[in-house]
């Protein structure tokens, strides 16, 4: 497994696959062909199907600015290596091709090319799965966060400190803002309203409303193209921060304790990224919000005193009960159902941690088992339900919205006719 620095990435929303990855690809390509007069970029599969709503064209053009860029859309063409693919072409003054490259945005802001797609990533962890990690930590009587420190070195805490600060900054910005999010849905920001309601709510409801407001703040900032931390992706960026902030406030933890929780959460995300997928275009939202819930459940369980086995159990439940979750963003925007899913997954993460803490830590289904199941479920899922906005809520809403528009136009025509 790679370093947690490759999992927790600070960047601009609304999508690690659709904005962070393509931006990185464009910037790398621009450095390779500085002599190019113009660029042509072809988006394939999920990148094309939801690229407009995810601001893919905008972020690619911004990365190449001031050079002119032509964007070609191929939503029905899926390249065999990954459903998120783009072809970059550098052109000279006469429009002749100077060079070309195909890049795959594989989730969490990570990109690969045909040359390195199957190359093993640089590994800093000697163990390949949760079972091996639990055996090792049991033999050496260490906690999971101590295992992360042993593998990554003490320098990981400086990086996670930067990550935690960025998460808090995102929440604070989101809580201060009101108004409507950009895009066709005219969706209103709700984080600040939930925070105000929490102040006058009974104690238990107040905590849940606080949790919701923190998760909504992150998700709404992401939807508006603001800076977020992938945990494990932009679309699921609100789950882990909201859980960590709520428990920090309840128990008055020092930041160092939260950093330990982020390390353990990151370990769960890293296992998912390595042994399954965190790409909504590849496995649906189970790989984004589902994995985020697993990460937050592990963090919560650790913060509340769980041992390694109970932490792994909490993570397993967090993902298991998101199995089969589709990625069906309405109108290609990371808003409906994405924003609400962050809030509800945060709540479920706390429930999973509580359940695991009450258990003896012995469960029939392991975290490794549920990761393998999640990957196979994603592969079996029709591509209409994997970030293409062609199925599920996206399809229903589009049909419903068209009917509403049609009825509105008919009503307006009748009114005009009656006036005459």
pLDDT at 204: 78
Instruction: Evaluate whether 30 touches 90 at the Cβ level (below 8 Å).
Output: no
The low-confidence residues of the chain, meaning pLDDT below 50, are none
Q: Of 125, 168, 75, 101, which Cα lies nearest the Cα of 387?
A: 75
User: Among all chains, which residue has been given the structure tokens 């390249």?
Assistant: 79
pLDDT at 119: 81
CB atoms within 10 A of CB 141: 7
pLDDT at 148: 98
Instruction: Evaluate whether 143 touches 263 at the Cβ level (below 8 Å).
Output: no
pTM (predicted TM-score): 0.91
pLDDT at 407: 55
pLDDT at 416: 63
Strand duo 97-107 + 38-44: pairing: unpaired
pLDDT at 368: 98
pLDDT at 122: 83
pLDDT at 130: 98
CB atoms within 10 A of CB 227: 14
pLDDT at 381: 96
Structure tokens belonging to residue 70: 């032509």
DSSP-H helix ranges across 9-55: 21-32, 45-49
Residue 325 DSSP class: -
Residue 381 DSSP class: S
Structure tokens belonging to residue 122: 């640089």
């Amino acid at each position: 497994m790679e370093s947690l620095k490759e999992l927790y990435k600070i960047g601009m929303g609304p999508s690690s696959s659709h904005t962070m990855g393509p931006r990185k690809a464009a910037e790398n390509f621009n450095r390779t062909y500085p002599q190019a007069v113009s660029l042509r970029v072809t988006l394939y599969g999920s990148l094309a199907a939801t690229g407009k709503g995810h601001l893919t064209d905008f972020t690619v053009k911004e990365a190449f600015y001031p050079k002119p860029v032509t964007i070609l859309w191929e939503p029905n063409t899926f390249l065999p290596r990954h459903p998120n693919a783009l072809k970059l072409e550098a052109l000279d003054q006469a429009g002749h091709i100077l060079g070309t490259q195909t890049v795959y945005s594989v989730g969490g802001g990570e990109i690969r090319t045909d040359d390195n797609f199957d190359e093993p990533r640089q590994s800093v962890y000697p163990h390949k799965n949760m079972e091996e990690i639990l055996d090792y930590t049991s033999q050496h009587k260490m906690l999971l966060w101590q295992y992360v420190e042993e593998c990554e070195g003490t320098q990981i805490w400086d990086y996670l400190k930067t990550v935690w600060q960025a998460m808090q900054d995102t929440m604070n910005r989101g809580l201060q803002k009101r108004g409507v999010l950009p895009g066709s849905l005219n969706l209103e920001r709700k984080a600040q309203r939930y925070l105000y309601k929490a102040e006058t709510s009974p104690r238990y409801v107040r905590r849940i409303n606080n949790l919701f407001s923190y998760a909504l703040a992150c998700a709404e900032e992401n939807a508006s193209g603001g800076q977020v931390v992938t945990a494990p992706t932009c679309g699921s960026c609100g789950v882990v921060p909201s859980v960590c902030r709520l428990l920090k406030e309840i128990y008055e933890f020092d930041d160092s304790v939260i950093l330990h929780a982020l390390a353990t959460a990151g370990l769960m995300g890293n296992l998912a990224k390595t042994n399954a997928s965190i790409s909504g275009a590849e496995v649906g939202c189970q790989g984004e919000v589902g994995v985020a819930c697993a990460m937050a459940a592990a963090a919560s369980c650790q913060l509340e005193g769980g041992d390694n086995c109970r932490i792994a159990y909490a993570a397993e439940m967090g993902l298991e009960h998101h199995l089969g979750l589709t990625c069906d963003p309405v109108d290609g925007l990371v808003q409906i159902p994405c924003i609400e899913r962050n809030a509800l997954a945060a709540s479920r993460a706390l429930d999973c941690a509580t359940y695991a803490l009450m258990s003896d830590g012995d469960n029939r289904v392991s975290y490794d088992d549920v990761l393998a199941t999640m990957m196979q479920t994603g592969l079996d899922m029709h591509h209409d339900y994997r970030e293409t906005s062609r199925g599920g809520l996206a399809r229903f809403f589009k049909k419903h919205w068209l009917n509403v528009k049609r009825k509105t136009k008919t009503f307006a025509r009748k009114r005009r006719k009656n006036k005459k």
